[in-house]
A and B are shown apart, each in its own frame.
Chain A
């Protein structure tokens, strides 16, 4: 039988050691690597293509959720976290398991069992989608967006973003560092960006208030928002109303 390839991602060496020790007498799982942050993890995931990741939530620079977001074909994930109320909420209904640190060997074996079932079955994608949706439903405002640019991870601070544009099922983010496509909905950003800093001016646009240079009349019911960069964006009637409320 083919062994399951597992990767441990955690910024604390002892936390990694613990999982290693728990795994040491398990025959069907092969530890293929360890990473102490999201950047290392991405490289390793691409190099060794693990079937299972033990993923810590709180890590420097990009957290476990953000890493999960930028993975194209995410493997089975077992989150490990010390204390994260939002995470707990996010996982509650999900088949992808989470372990609250410190966790017992029994609890660890239980979640391995879940992971085995998930990996042998084909349908892990929809479950992960469900998890993503749950994370998206948390009301925590975001202050950065993590995107992938080829093999590189790019962290975009929210306050460096000029505007968002809807592109089919994706969102194009226009920021200081350039343009990046992100697999998220406009609705998500409308809900999670700081309310006083961003306005949805149109079905297709969310604009940063600080980037607005001026607003001009365009047609009877539409206005143009002119950004400091010179870009002109159309507003809808409702969008213009929201804009006037904030400005």
Chain B
């Protein structure tokens, strides 16, 4: 309450609480015991401000005696001692001060003596209530801390997960592309240069995009095209690519690198595993609320799929779920020789300025 964040706020709350208690105390003496206002106010002020001061000490006692780690007996002894000392010192000090302040003898002295028992009882009660509140606050704080810590951990986990879900450029692709470049340097230097530049641009994009980042469809498509251009150099006429992208969708925001793994998959199952020409079609359409992206590839029906197929799609589903909170944004259709993946990208509300 006094340490750590929100210190001032806690002190104000503590003082307010004691003002309320003091007011009740005063009213009891004024109305219940029919003492004049001055006596009631002095009585209440002295006892309550004293207890409020002691309360600060008790707060530290509560903070440092950990309920979970210390044995029950020890805690009971600790609090019994603390309560006894607190109440004794509190009452003696209160009595002493009041006797010094109120010199007029109209029986207040006797009043103090006759109400000793009830004051002891209320002292113990104060102690118990205060300790209860303190422990509650401490526990709540710990809980809050733990929740904060957990959510921080979750965030980190999510980040790590996203990182691993990101399209990972297959080393296979990289080294084969380098091999193609190596061949081109001897036969067609300018084409080799063109490919080096495309590969660099593509690599740079893949390495610098972050997953939470939303980018314009135009940019994502540009990089998909770079990738496909490189594959086209590798596979020549075996790879046929058709684009049917509506230009009015270009400004639409999509998660960075969301298409990349899909295109990689269609290359992997279409071109890598086919002995004949293989076609990939990329198309898009958009309305106000939603962008539809569709990637279609033909594959050889004789090809025997590796087990574990589908993890790439699972990852995209997860990513879309992380970003948009929906799990119905990806659909997959498979026929005998055709594989179609369709993505629905909802309009992203927080960023309306660039999306028209």
Contacts and interface: CB of A to CB of B under 8 A. Distances in A.
A140 to B, nearest CB: 10
Interface in A1-47: 11-15, 17-18, 21, 36-37, 39
B187 interface: yes
Given A18-B179, A144-B304, A155-B304, A13 B275 contact: no
Interface in A33-88: 36-37, 39, 58, 60-61, 82-84
A101 interface: yes
A143 interface: yes
A83 B171 contact: yes
Interface in B275-316: 275, 300, 302-307
Sort chain B's interface into a size bin: 20 to 34
B186 to A, nearest CB: 5
Contacts of A141: 307
B179 to A, nearest CB: 4
Contacts of A18: 179, 182-183, 186
Contacts of A13: 235-236
Contacts of A103: 179
> Which has the most chain B C-beta neighbours within 10 Å: A36, A61, A100, A103?
A61
B240 to A, nearest CB: 15
A178 interface: no
Contacts of A144: 304
A183 B186 CA distance: 42
Contact of B182 (A37, A102, A143): A102
B172 A58 contact: yes
Contact of B180 (A14, A21, A36, A60): A14
B186 A21 contact: yes
Given A17-B187, A39-B275, A61-B275, A12 B304 contact: no
Interface of A: 11-15, 17-18, 21, 36-37, 39, 58, 60-61, 82-84, 100-103, 141, 143-144, 155, 157, 194
